């Protein structure tokens, strides 16, 4: 599946003093480079970092910002020798945040606009405690209402991005909570700032904010839509969207940032506190099915193991299993790379039929991360078929999901043209019938192929549309069992139409009305 988009990935780092009592300032931008490289699958449109250097050598800027359109290597100007030394020296510091991004709703198209919208975003202010850079992963479902409130306060919105709205909400909270006294201005209480945010935001949000006074703030929404982890070793603290980013810099003993919590890093001991307690979760199940790196461990466990479980559950409902028993050599299981590979391997092993990697995904951008008008061109360049592995065989294609159906249609056609006598598509994800307003880019009913057909005819109609001999979807129960948590702890709004927040319900109602026009 290559026709869905996720929003972003975030990373944060804070050095500890060495045994000699000093810091290796050039380590921070290098660590952020490694972390962001391991989060590249979450966004390739733009990359950025912001670092904090308190030493002010030669009147250096205390809060540095580097961001541009392009992937991590492009923005770091990587050569055979590694990242640009000029960039490493420019971005030196004792702490910092990093971001990889796909364009959210409201994003521009031209280079200059995309560069301006790249993250982190900088909030200018003359006072260090009010100057900060912010990185964000998620989607704010009540953005429209918040934007109006912000403008009513006299603020100007330069974009339609929820990141900018959050930046201004932090600024408003700082304005209310920082007061002048006899000694000057009181220091902001970032716990209270975080509480203020959580009281106003509806949706999915992982936030990192690097302040010019040295504080680094990390926030996870109370429902825990998106994964977020943190940890430490003897040299530094770090936080990231996925554990694979922490392991890449030598932190294997990582911890989950609990939903509704904030983490404050500075030169003192880290402070982490749960601010909002909600006795349910809304973990995005799509992270396990598709978005997260296969090597990551999220709230519900190993991504690889869960994808293997999905393959086992698919095998248990396979309508052709009797035919497999009679003539197993007629069939071959082929995974659509790369996310579906663990599921395909277990599916084939369970049913006793061979599995071959017959589809090669060419190196380059993941199709789901690119703009809509580029997607079809990318898909045609993206896949190559090894013909001798499928010619004359009945192919069971295993894919992670069927969203718009365009990628499935393309791949089925390529496999048939390569000589397959039959092509049967199996999806590890149940039918997607409702849009997502929490950070996955299928925001309308019209985009979803499963929303077009009645449920009793769905698999037949989808098979006809994509040109497959048959289609079989995962069941909701199978999905929940594979992930290994209670159904009420997963966000499955795109499958069930049941949204976990009020703003999500409102947006779904409006989207459904528009789809009927």
Q: Are 34 and 236 in contact (CB under 8 A)?
A: no
CA 418 from chain centre, in angstroms, equals 34
Helix (H) or strand (E) holding 33: helix 27-37
Using CB atoms within 10 Å of the CB of residue 116, give its burial: 0 to 12 exposed, 13 to 18 middle, 19+ buried: middle
The C-alpha atoms of residue 276 and residue 438 are separated, in whole angstroms, by 19
Query: Torsion angle, CA of 299/473/357/345, rounded to 10 degrees?
Result: 60
Non-local (6+) Cβ contacts of 293 within 8 A are 38, 41, 242, 244, 303
The C-alpha atoms of residue 51 and residue 461 are separated, in whole angstroms, by 52
Give the tokens for residue 146.
Answer: 């918040």
Q: How many CB atoms lie within 10 A of CB 460?
A: 12
Give the tokens for residue 165.
Answer: 């709205």
* 8 catalytically annotated: yes
The C-alpha atoms of residue 284 and residue 194 are separated, in whole angstroms, by 22
According to DSSP, the residues that pair with 65 across neighbouring strands are: 50
- Answer whether the bond into residue 171 is a cis peptide, omega within 30°: no
CA angle 309, 35, 159 (to 5 degrees): 100
Give the tokens for residue 313.
Answer: 């559950």
Q: Are 142 and 203 in contact (CB under 8 A)?
A: yes
The C-alpha atoms of residue 103 and residue 66 are separated, in whole angstroms, by 18
Instruction: Give the position of tokens 């909002």.
Output: 276
Non-local (6+) Cβ contacts of 405 within 8 A are 449, 462, 465, 466
Lay out the sheet containing 216-220: strands in order across: 121-123, 132-140, 203-211, 216-220, 261-265, 271-274
CA angle 441, 444, 446 (to 5 degrees): 120
Catalytic residue among 8, 91, 262, 491: 8
Nearest CA among 254, 258, 260, 259 for reference residue 242 = 254
Give the tokens for residue 420.
Answer: 């397959």
The C-alpha atoms of residue 227 and residue 245 are separated, in whole angstroms, by 12
Catalytic residues: 8
């Amino acid at each position: 599946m290559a026709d869905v988009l996720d929003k972003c990935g975030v990373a944060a780092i804070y050095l500890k003093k060495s045994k000699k009592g000093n810091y290796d300032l050039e380590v921070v931008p290098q660590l952020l480079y490694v972390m962001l490289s391991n989060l590249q699958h979450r966004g390739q449109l733009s990359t950025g970092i912001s670092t904090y250097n308190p030493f002010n050598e030669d009147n250096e800027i205390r809060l540095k910002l580097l961001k541009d359109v392009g992937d991590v290597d492009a923005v770091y100007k990587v050569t055979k020798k590694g990242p640009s030394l000029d960039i490493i020296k420019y971005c030196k510091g004792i702490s910092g945040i990093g971001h990889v991004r796909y364009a959210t709703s409201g994003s521009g198209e031209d280079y200059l606009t995309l560069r301006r919208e790249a993250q982190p975003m900088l909030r200018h202010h003359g006072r260090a405690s009010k100057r900060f850079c912010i990185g964000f992963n998620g989607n704010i479902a009540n953005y429209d209402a918040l934007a109006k409130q912000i403008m009513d306060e006299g603020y100007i919105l330069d974009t339609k991005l929820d990141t900018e709205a959050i930046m201004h909400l932090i600024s408003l909270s700082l304005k209310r909570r920082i007061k002048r006294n006899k000694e000057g201005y009181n220091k902001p209480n970032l716990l209270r700032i975080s509480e203020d945010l959580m009281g106003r935001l509806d949706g999915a949000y992982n936030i990192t904010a690097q302040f010019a006074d040295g504080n680094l703030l990390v926030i996870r929404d109370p429902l825990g839509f998106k994964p977020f982890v943190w940890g430490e070793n003897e040299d530094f603290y770090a936080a990231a969207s996925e554990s694979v980013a922490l392991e890449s810099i030598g932190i294997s003993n990582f911890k989950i940032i609990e939903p509704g919590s904030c983490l404050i890093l500075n030169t003192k001991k880290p402070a982490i506190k749960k601010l909002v307690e909600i006795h349910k979760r809304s973990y995005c199940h799509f992270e396990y099915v598709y978005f997260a790196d296969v090597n990551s461990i999220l709230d519900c466990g190993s991504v690889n193991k869960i994808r293997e479980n999905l393959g086992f559950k698919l095998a248990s409902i396979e309508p052709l299993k009797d035919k497999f028993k009679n003539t197993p050599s007629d069939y071959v299981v082929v995974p659509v790379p790369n996310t579906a590979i663990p599921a395909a391997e277990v599916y084939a092993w369970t049913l006793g039929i061979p599995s071959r990697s017959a589809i090669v995904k060419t190196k380059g951008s993941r199709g789901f991360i690119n703009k809509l008008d580029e997607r079809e061109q990318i898909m045609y360049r993206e896949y190559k078929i090894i013909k001798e592995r499928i010619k004359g065989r009945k192919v069971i294609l295993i894919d992670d999901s069927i969203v718009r159906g365009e990628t499935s249609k393309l791949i089925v056609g390529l496999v048939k043209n390569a000589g397959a006598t039959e092509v049967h598509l199996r999806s590890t994800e149940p039918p997607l019938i409702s849009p997502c307003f929490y950070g996955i880019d299928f925001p309308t009913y019209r985009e979803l192929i499963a929303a077009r057909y009645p449920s009793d005819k769905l698999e037949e109609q989808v098979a006809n549309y994509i040109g497959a001999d048959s289609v079989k979807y995962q069941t909701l129960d199978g999905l929940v069992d594979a992930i290994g948590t209670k159904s009420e702890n997963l966000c499955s709004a795109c499958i069930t139409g049941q949204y976990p927040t009020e703003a999500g319900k409102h947006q779904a109602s409006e989207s459904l009305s528009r789809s009927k026009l």
